């Protein structure tokens, strides 16, 4: 499978389109509906945390990490439970404060409009009625369980105490929403038709690729070294040590959930690695400072190449090798 990722300006355009906005951030009058907040929150979540389709589709709202009390520039740990992780291997990735705040905004303001009092029940299989829910688990049909143990087929049937699905993303009737490939494809097409004819087709794994390349750029470029200093000052010793001492490829391996750094290297072999390291050396040589932000924002899109191969197609999306 060909690796493709979005450049920062296209990633920003995509998230704004998911929210029903034009590329400049103004509201698009032709887009309406409460699902826009859901789509934008989940799209930004995937870009900021690098989750696989199965991982973010079947994620219960209860498993979303709490939002730190004060805004922070350091990444926020984001556990990925074994029940939905590839190979059932638990891992911890991270997410920016801004992206996590958008998810919590959806949870608090928009999602309740669909789930509260909902009469939804799963079309197939016995409903799994939840009582006494908490961050780590709850009772399902009277038996206490941990959310992390549940597989997708079980998560799909979870019914919240106040009605509706327990999953993060829900439909208007309160049931679970899972048609993300369709949402991303339609949004991509709308961008091409209305704003930018070069915009590429976006599938869920393309957002994971985008997270990978952006994270590697920041790790190599020194963004997370400064974040580690802030983490140390705030008393987050383990995170500070991890950010400042670990090799960038090892950090990225852990965040993506790869079993070996060799898989990560193959994953990124033609994703501009040579350019990333070259530009980092050039910045260090010229004494250029770095910002810290860990989320996607509006950026400058430039042609990129690595290992002597042009990796930018005419749609503005970089192209590489295999996926994982």
* Nearest partner of 214 among 180, 256, 245, 186, judged by Cα: 256
Inside any domain, residue 52: yes
- State residue 274's pLDDT score: 60
Inside any domain, residue 279: yes
- State residue 313's pLDDT score: 36
Inside any domain, residue 161: no
The DSSP bridge partners found for residue 130 are: 140
Terminal Cα distance for the chain, rounded? 9
d(CA 207, CA 267): 14
- State residue 23's pLDDT score: 97
Inside any domain, residue 18: yes
Count up the domains in the chain and report the number: 1
- State residue 309's pLDDT score: 24
- State residue 78's pLDDT score: 96
- pLDDT beneath 70, residues of the chain: 1-3, 221-246, 267-324
For the domain that residue 279 is a member of, what is the CATH number?
1.10.443.10
Inside any domain, residue 60: yes
* Nearest partner of 158 among 175, 173, 136, 180, judged by Cα: 175
Inside any domain, residue 121: no
- Domain range for 268 is 1-116+169-324
- State residue 192's pLDDT score: 97
Query: Interior CA angle at 94 toward 271 and 238, to 5°?
Result: 115
- State residue 233's pLDDT score: 66
Inside any domain, residue 127: no
Inside any domain, residue 130: no
């Amino acid at each position: 499978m060909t690796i493709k990722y979005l450049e920062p300006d296209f990633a920003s355009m995509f998230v704004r389109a998911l929210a029903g906005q034009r590329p400049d951030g103004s509201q698009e009058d032709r887009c309406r509906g409460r699902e826009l907040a859901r789509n934008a929150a989940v799209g930004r979540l995937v870009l900021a945390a690098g989750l696989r389709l199965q991982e973010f589709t079947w994620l219960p709202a209860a498993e979303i990490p709490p939002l730190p009390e004060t805004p922070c520039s350091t990444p926020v740990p984001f556990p990925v439970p074994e029940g939905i992780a590839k190979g059932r291997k638990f891992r911890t990735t991270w997410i920016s404060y801004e992206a996590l705040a958008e998810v919590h905004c959806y949870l608090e303001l928009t999602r309740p409009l669909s789930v509260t009092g909902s009469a939804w029940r799963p079309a197939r299989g016995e409903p799994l009625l939840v009582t006494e829910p908490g961050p780590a688990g709850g009772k399902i049909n009277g038996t206490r369980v941990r959310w992390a143990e549940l597989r997708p087929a079980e998560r799909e049937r979870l019914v919240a105490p106040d009605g509706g699905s327990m999953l993060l993303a829900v439909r208007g009737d309160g049931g679970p929403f899972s048609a993300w490939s369709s949402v991303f494809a339609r949004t991509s097409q709308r961008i091409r038709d209305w704003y930018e004819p070069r915009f590429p087709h976006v599938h869920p794994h393309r957002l994971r690729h985008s997270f990978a390349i952006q994270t590697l750029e920041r790790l190599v470029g020194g963004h997370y070294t400064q974040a580690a200093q802030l983490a140390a000052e705030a008393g987050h010793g383990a995170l500070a040590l991890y950010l400042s001492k670990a090799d960038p490829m090892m950090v990225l391996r852990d965040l993506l959930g790869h079993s070996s750094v060799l898989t990560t290297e193959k994953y990124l072999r033609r994703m501009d690695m040579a350019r990333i390291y070259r530009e980092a050396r050039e910045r260090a040589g010229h004494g250029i400072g770095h910002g810290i932000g860990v989320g996607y924002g509006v950026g400058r899109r430039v042609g990129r190449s690595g290992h002597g191969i042009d990796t930018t197609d005419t749609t503005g999306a970089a192209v590489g090798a295999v996926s994982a």
